[in-house]
A and B are shown apart, each in its own frame.
Chain A
Amino acid sequence: MTDYKYVILVSMGEITLKGLNRGRFEARLTRNIKSAISTFGRFHIFQRQSRIWIEDLYSEQPVLDDSEVAGQIMRAVSKVFGIVSVSLVRKFTGDMDNIREMAIRFIEDRLKEQPFESFKFETKRGDKSFPLLSPEVSSELGGKVLERFPELRVDVNAPELVVFVEIRDAFYIYADKIYAHRGLPVGSSGKGLLMLSGGIDSPVAGYMMASRGMEIDAVYYHSFPYTSDQAKQKVVDLAKIISQYCGPIHLNIVNFTEIQKHLYQNSPQDMLTITMRRIMIRIAEKIALQSHCKAIITGESLGQVASQTIDAISLTNEVTSMPIFRPLIGVDKDYAVQIAREIGTFETSILPYEDCCTVFVAKHPQTKPQRKHMEHAERFLDIDDLVSQGLEGIERILIE
């Protein structure tokens, strides 16, 4: 009987389109996969022919033979950005006879798990010296399977089971693919500072930028006792959830109580939100520079609330020369909710601890603020002093 072992096949997406930089992206992706599965054991992770392979480092104690653990590993890998799909694959060597035998065994095992009626084989030939062409291999295997299981039928258009056979340095056979989140490997596009609140949008914004390869740090403005410690814990929990995709996150918790109180007492009610946003961005910029972030990321969506109108956003932008990435700017709330559900942040985001106490929200905030309003609102504020107050006593938590 042909001997085989289980390995994990990772298909890469967009990276394979990269030119001269491709090696750098692949190396980063390999590193990210390694850190995502480090808790499961030791693995040999390597890249060959546009694919990444994960094999047990110690073949005498194979972790991947345990289908439950292999499933957990695949799910962890599928959360790494830069991947199209992940599959558990049987790897073996030999010649066409071995491939035939393995194909029949594979079908036999699948029938035991779940009955099906139609199937097809799809062959890829990386080793062009192999004597048969890909379609020839597929049809040969299909024929052999039908001889052994006459109740089955081949359906090339809509089969219930597609069995993939790859002929490379060795032979590989598999059927299921866990589809992953695509994008680019985190760390391949620099680092951004996410303004994380307890709401639905900001974790999604962080996830979206991470999917474009950004490493993420985060900042949260805490106003105890106006906002509770539960609200802060909620932000920590959200950061934990998105770190599954983004990798480790440094969360900066700014003590915002005094600043917020000062703003409340010294600037006009209708401009309170925007004055506050401007201070937050100024503090964020300073934190970003200190932690080598090259952009600020927010969950703003055009027109969603008063501080997110085009006029308010323009005035907020003015306080920094750093790019502010707003991946949700043109996105409908329903769509943001849908992503939040998919990535698992939604249930935490809707817990009833408010991220910004209602006392600081004006009843009728200015939705079309102009520069003269802003100048008027900030005229009694010692901005530099408020910013340095914010930078003092930041609590920094590493979340991974």
Chain B
Amino acid sequence: MPEIAQLIETHLSSYCAFGNPGSLHRLGVSAMESYSNSRRRVASVLGAQSEEIIFTSGGTESINFAIRGYLEANPRKGKHVISTRTEHKATLAVLDYLSNHGHEVTYIGVDSAGEPNWLEVESAIRPDTALLTFTHVNNETGAILPVSKLVDIRNRINRSAVIHLDCVQSLGKLPLRPSKDGVELVSMSGHKIHAVKGVGAIYIKSGIRMQPLIIGGGQQGGLRSGTESTFLAEAFALALEKSYEQSDAAYLKLTHIHNDVSSVIQSFGGVILSPENGSKYILNAALPMFEAETLLHALEEHDIFISTVSACASKNKKASHVLAAMGIDKSLSRSAVRISFSRFSQAEDIEQINKALGEAIKRYAL
């Protein structure tokens, strides 16, 4: 995003931006003002108070902090955690770690559209359930979690259980008001909203006690030590504002693009694996005549860059755990690719995909 590039350039070349927000001289003070201002802007977009926002290095750190930070700070709330089988690896790895260190995790199954089985959720919640950690928009399929359903069930059965939402894929794309929605912890990432890689944030509802993951100089109220990066924080704030300013228009545009690309894929014999009512930013589909990686490389020749499952896990070469949980056959999921759109996607992209797919099939289909 040109505005972000401009912002970072200004920061890096300006004398004033040199200051460390922790310093007492005027350079430091002005850096701290800039940092606090970024935090206020983020809070304002999310309808939160600025003390409820902590900047992090990205989605993975936020998720780690949300889950471990809450459970470690509140041991008396119980040792039971509820989640789903379709979480991102950042969550699954933390839960795996916790279950090896005295916690108990219940994983909820999902249906063929990726929606959690609500009866299972109801029966899983116990008096010692401390945390429910769910993904708002699934990173592989775009399946959207009906947050209000989850909150209602929690409120009905165990009000003291805290909800953490992984909003890395939904931030800037779907409406998000944590306090109004009734969730206590929200993880966010900067690069998914066209800020830069290396910045993220976490929303922590005021009054929720957290144990920091990173300790040191006591920055950000002691919750996340490390010198505050003024330009990363501002890039995050600006990107977030821009995303929400344009999210309605983007949604309309992407609905068309998503539908048209789906039709193109189907016309080539492909199968759409994303749920119908899912996010318009993610399209998961399988063209059974290709292994996913073959299609990825074939489209790369046309400067179209898609992913096999989640980019973070693609080097593991395993079939997608998300598609497996949705009951998708392995023979189909080995062909599954994920096409991501953004508000910068154009109608012309559809024709380009159409052409590239046609050629890939002609040249490389087996």
Contacts and interface: CB of A to CB of B under 8 A. Distances in A.
B268 interface: no
A224 interface: yes
Contact of B364 (A261, A352, A354): A261
A228 B293 contact: yes
Contacts of B364: 225-226, 257, 261
Contact of A225 (B301, B315, B316, B317): B301
Interface residues of A, number: 14
B291 interface: yes
Interface of B is mostly: helix
Contacts of B293: 225, 228, 357
A226 B315 contact: no
A351 to B, nearest CB: 9
Contacts of B300: 225
B294 A225 contact: yes
Nearest to A354: B317
A229 interface: yes
Nearest to A359: B291
B77 interface: no
B297 to A, nearest CB: 3
A262 B225 CA distance: 59
Interface in A236-271: 257, 261, 264-265
A226 B292 CA distance: 10
B298 interface: yes
Interface in A211-234: 224-226, 228-229
A272 to B, nearest CB: 11
A39 interface: no
Contacts of B360: 225
A265 B317 contact: no
A253 to B, nearest CB: 16
A352 B315 contact: yes
A179 B295 CA distance: 49
A225 B298 contact: yes
A224 B293 CA distance: 10
Interface residues of B, number: 15
A359 B366 contact: yes
Contacts of B301: 225
Contacts of B291: 226, 357-359
Interface string A57-83: 000000000000000000000000000
B317 A226 contact: no
A229 B291 CA distance: 16
Interface string A188-232: 000000000000000000000000000000000000111011000
A358 B293 CA distance: 10
A265 B315 contact: no
Nearest to B334: A358
B27 to A, nearest CB: 42
Contacts of A357: 291, 293-294
Given A352-B315, A357-B291, A359-B291, A224 B366 contact: no
A226 B296 CA distance: 9
Given A352-B317, A358-B291, A225 B297 contact: yes
A354 B297 CA distance: 13
B303 to A, nearest CB: 14
A354 B366 CA distance: 18
A261 B364 CA distance: 8
A267 to B, nearest CB: 13
Contacts of B294: 225-226, 357, 359
A261 B366 contact: yes
Contacts of A257: 364
B366 A228 contact: no
A78 B291 CA distance: 45
Interface in B299-320: 300-301, 315-317
A102 B293 CA distance: 66
Given A261-B366, A264-B366, A359-B366, A228 B297 contact: yes
Contacts of A265: 366
A128 to B, nearest CB: 65
Nearest to B315: A352
Contact of A229 (B297, B315, B317): B297
Contacts of A226: 291, 294, 297, 364
B321 to A, nearest CB: 18
Interface in A9-64: none
A261 B297 CA distance: 16
Contacts of A261: 364, 366
B310 to A, nearest CB: 15
B87 to A, nearest CB: 23
Nearest to B291: A359
Nearest to A225: B297
Interface centre among B294, B301, B315, B316 (most CB of A within 10 A): B294
Interface in B231-286: none
Contacts of A229: 297
Interface centre among A229, A265, A357 (most CB of B within 10 A): A357
Nearest to B364: A225
A354 B293 CA distance: 11
Interface centre among B297, B298, B316 (most CB of A within 10 A): B297
A270 B26 CA distance: 76
A352 B360 CA distance: 24
Contacts of B317: 352, 354
Nearest to B298: A225
A229 B315 CA distance: 14
Interface centre among A226, A264, A265 (most CB of B within 10 A): A226
B340 to A, nearest CB: 19
A226 B291 CA distance: 8
Interface string A357-368: 111000000000
Interface in A339-358: 352, 354, 357-358
A262 to B, nearest CB: 11
Nearest to B365: A261
Contacts of B296: 225
Nearest to A258: B363
A224 B297 contact: yes
Interface string A288-332: 000000000000000000000000000000000000000000000
Given A224-B297, A265-B366, 11 more contacts: A226-B291, A226-B294, A226-B297, A226-B364, A228-B297, A261-B366, A352-B315, A352-B316, A357-B291, A358-B291, A359-B294
Interface of A: 224-226, 228-229, 257, 261, 264-265, 352, 354, 357-359
20 contacts: A225-B293, A225-B294, A225-B297, A225-B360, A225-B364, A226-B297, A228-B293, A228-B297, A261-B364, A261-B366, A264-B366, A265-B366, A352-B316, A352-B317, A354-B317, A357-B291, A357-B293, A357-B294, A359-B291, A359-B366
Interface of B: 291, 293-298, 300-301, 315-317, 360, 364, 366
A-B pairs, 5 with minimum CB distance: A225-B297, A225-B298, A225-B294, A352-B315, A226-B294
